[in-house]
Structures are given as structure tokens and as C-alpha cells.
Amino acid sequence: MVSRVIPVETFDLVIFGGTGDLARRKILPGLYRRFVAGQMPPEARVIGAARSEMDQKGYQDLIRDAIEEFIKEENRDPETLDAFLERLDYTAIDARGEGGWDNLAKMVRKDAVTAFYFSVGPGLFGDIATRLHDHKIATPESRIVVEKPFGRDLESAKELNGVLAASFDESQIYRIDHYLGKETVQNLMAVRFGNVLFEPLWNAQYVDHVQITVSETVSVGGRGGYYDKSGAMRDMIQNHLMQLLCLTAMEPPSKFDPDAVRDEKLKVIRALDPVPADNIVRGQYGADEDGPSYIEDSENPDSRTESFIALKVDISNWRWKGTPFYLRTGKRMKARMSEIVVHFKETPHSIFDEDAGSHSNILSIRLQPDEGMDLRVTIKEPGPGGMRLIDVPLDMTFADALGPEGADVTDAYERLIMDVIRGNQTLFMRGDEVEAAWAWTDPIIEGWQKRGDKPVQYEPGSSGPDDALMLLHRDGRRWRELRA
């Protein structure tokens, strides 16, 4: 199977924070891979902009090191790397002052697609947006790309939206949630809306419950300062898990077009019920021989920030009333595993003996690792000895079904950057969506602040606190096991 490379117009991509961690780890390696795939037109250029004084050669050397660090040797070769680095330029810029802006204005072409990636803290969004506008570097066709965290509550998100709206139209603003760029996330839409099989069953009448898990083995080590002010609710639930929930729960949009899709997601967020304290479990990992505790990592002995959270979420609309969505995410867990699992109801009546057991279909959509889908169906256990039922998987691991090319899934960032150049906002969050997500999140956080709730401790390398297991047990359900 040969992957299709859709050509894009020539572009100038300016990366503010061009020497930073995200640029080195994700953005530039992603662009390199697109270059190797033949998707960067001959004249396309990338301009790094940051505070440090550096010349073009210095920047190219910095990015060479980054690509050698973050792209496996078998996926790069010195010649293509040199050719890619030729496309890079650099300018020092003072985001809060006037230094460097005239120079940038000279560097950026007016007859190419221009995109400006704000790979900087949100505190600089306003300064950069205003200067791009005032120095006439951006045109009405230019695009800006902003990273999460998009605010830390509704008020700050509104403020950021206001700051960007002063210089750019919503159609120019690309708010990244890199989970939307993951291959399987888009496959969720293909499966739901490309098959007649699932849609009639995709509702409270046939779905017992949905589980969404994003479990990580890493700690917050090194990011403790940021993380302690954020926690799993702000860092993961408000954005990544919320987006997964929306794509699972939304109504079919009339077409696969940015606003049609985002309108449907927004309706889901607005239909989420407030979450009572009983339906939330928060945890902090303890220490073991592999690493320090959350408290040590955050360097805050009094920290009440959660490194794990599980929630039972109800959606008040016709499709989902009565079918809970259980969400959980955490650091230093037993396995790295992200999946959406739809548990269908049992058959209304069993024609088989009691010892045939009770069975139900389960559709799991694995985001990582081993991207793929698996539908468990009930069959008769082969052989003599009466009618005994077993569940077997109808498995579609992309690597098996599509060959090595299928397994080589494009990194989320590459796909999203190319979507920016193409001017396709479908996989980006709209301002009202982000605000609605905060409007749902804020009262939950305020609730535990008011009550002075403390997260419970969980063992690192486990499935999180026991209370999280109870959250499902009391409803007669069980979490799927975390496995690598």
C-alpha cells in the first residue's frame, strides 16, 4: 500500500519559539518527515524566530541535532537532511519589543501561504499577534497556530480568544489539540460514518457505557512546575479526552467540513451534565524504586494537584441519556495505553442455557500503541459438548491489515501542520468549543477547591487508586485492563 501525499501550495512557516522544546521535538522533525515524503514544495521555507541571537547556520545546526535526536537513523539520511536544512532560516525576535520585526517582514513572502506557529507561552500570544498585524507581516489569508494550554479556566480562555480576535479572524486561527491529529482518532469518524453497521446501534438503547482511557507510564518529572498548576483535569481531560468524547458522542455532521464537525462537537460539550463529587476520583502517584513520588516531582509538599483522574460523565441528550462515559487518565501507570471502548448491551433475552454465560459486544478503538480496532463478537466454542459461548476478536490492527505502510502512521503534528498549510480547520478547536469545555471544567475544579479535597495516593505502576475501580464496580461494571 502506498500512502498518498496530497500536494500543498508553497509556504513560509514562521515558528515563534523556534529553538524551544516543542519545535525541536515535534514540529521540525515532523516537517522533515513531510519533506522526505515529498510534501514540501520546492520553494517552501521554515523560519525559526526566538530570542537568542543566532545566524542561519547556527539554527540549521541546532535543528540538525534535534532531528538526529528525535528521528531514528533508519528514517533519515545525510543528503535529505542537508537538503531539508537548506529550507530553514532564522531571525532573532523580541516578542515584547520591536527588535527583529522589520527583518521578519522582509523575510516573509507575500505571494506564498504564510503560517505563524506560536510555540510560546500564552502570555506572548497577544504581543505576537499584534505585532504580526501592525507590521503587516500577516495578511488576511495568513494562518496562526496556537498550542495548548489554551487558558486555565473560562475567563482566561475568553481573554486569549479576545486577544487573538483583535488581530485575526476565527477562520485564521488554528488551535492545536494534537489528539485530533492521531490516525485512529480520524478512523473513529471513518468507522462511525463510513459504515452502516454501527450507527443504528450507536446510542443509549444499545450502548451500555463507554470507557475512554489515556494512561501513561511517564511521570511529570521535569515539568513539575507547569503540571502542578494544571493537573490531569486541565492538562488532559479538558482537551484531549474531551475531544475523544465529542467525536464518539457527536451526531453525524452533514458533511466532513470544519464547521459542520465542530458544531456537532460543541453540542456534545454543551449537553454534558455537571459532575457530582461522587463521580470523580483523583490520585497522586507515590514513590517506588523507579522514581520519586508526585509530591517530590512537583517540589510542592502540600500539592493537591492530581496526576490521575477518573470521572463518570453523563450526557443529557436523546442519544446518550442513561449511558455513562467513564474517563480516566494518569501518569506513572502500569502501561501506556490510550483507547476508546464502546461496551454494547447484552442481548435482550438469552435463548441459551445459563451456563452459556452472558455476553456482549465490545468495540475498542486503540489510539496507541498498536493503532487499530477490535470488535469482540460472541460465537460458539468449537467442538462437542453443547452450546457454550465465547467471545473472539474481529481484530484490525492497522499494521497487519494495511502492511508496513499502514503501520507507519503519520505523527499527529505532521498531519496538523500540513492541514494548516492546506487551510483545513476540521481537526482544530474552535474558540467557542474551547470556552464550552472550560465552562464544564471550571465548576468541577472549583468544587474540589471549595471542599478542600485531596487526591488519594496510588502505587506507581498500578491502574490508579482503588477508588477508581469502585467508581465502576458500584455500577456493576469494570475498567478494561491496562496492558502494554
| Nearest to ligand BG6 of 187, 338 (CB atom) | 338
User: Among all residues, whose Cβ is closest to ligand BG6?
Assistant: 235
Minimum gap (Å) between residue 352 Cβ and ligand BG6: 41
The answer for 100, left when phi > 0, alpha when psi is -120 to 50, beta otherwise, is left
* Beta-sheet pairing, 389-397 with 372-380: antiparallel
| Nearest to ligand BG6 of 115, 237 (CB atom) | 237
Q: Which of the residues 332 through 391 are near ligand BG6 (CB under 6 A)?
A: 338
| Nearest to ligand BG6 of 193, 226 (CB atom) | 226
Q: Which of the residues 151 through 210 are near ligand BG6 (CB under 6 A)?
A: 178
| 230 in Cβ contact with 305 (< 8 Å) | yes
Minimum gap (Å) between residue 148 Cβ and ligand BG6: 6
| Residues with a known catalytic role | 240
| Nearest to ligand BG6 of 412, 472 (CB atom) | 412
Position among 235, 297, 339, 433 found at the interface with ligand BG6 (CB under 6 A): 235
Q: How many residues bind ligand BG6 (CB under 6 A)?
A: 5
Cβ neighbourhood burial of 457 (10 Å; 0-12, 13-18, 19+): middle
Give the C-alpha distances (Å, rounded to integers) separating 284 from 136, 310, 472.
48, 12, 20
| Nearest to ligand BG6 of 59, 285 (CB atom) | 285
Rounded CA gap, 483 and 210, in Å? 18
Position among 216, 297, 306, 371 found at the interface with ligand BG6 (CB under 6 A): 216
Minimum gap (Å) between residue 184 Cβ and ligand BG6: 12
The set of cell numbers assigned to 86 is 537548506
Rounded CA gap, 198 and 190, in Å? 11
Cα within 13 Å of Cα(407), Cβ side? 8
Residues shown for the chain: 484
Does residue 149 have a cis peptide bond before it, meaning omega lies within 30 degrees of 0?
yes
Task: Measure the CA dihedral 394/399/402/405, to 10°.
Answer: 170
Minimum gap (Å) between residue 237 Cβ and ligand BG6: 11
Minimum gap (Å) between residue 392 Cβ and ligand BG6: 29
Rounded CA gap, 68 and 36, in Å? 14
Site track 237-276 with ligand BG6 (rule: CB under 6 A), x = hit = ----------------------------------------
Q: Which of the residues 123 through 152 are near ligand BG6 (CB under 6 A)?
A: 148
Residues interacting with ligand BG6, by CB under 6 A? 148, 178, 216, 235, 338
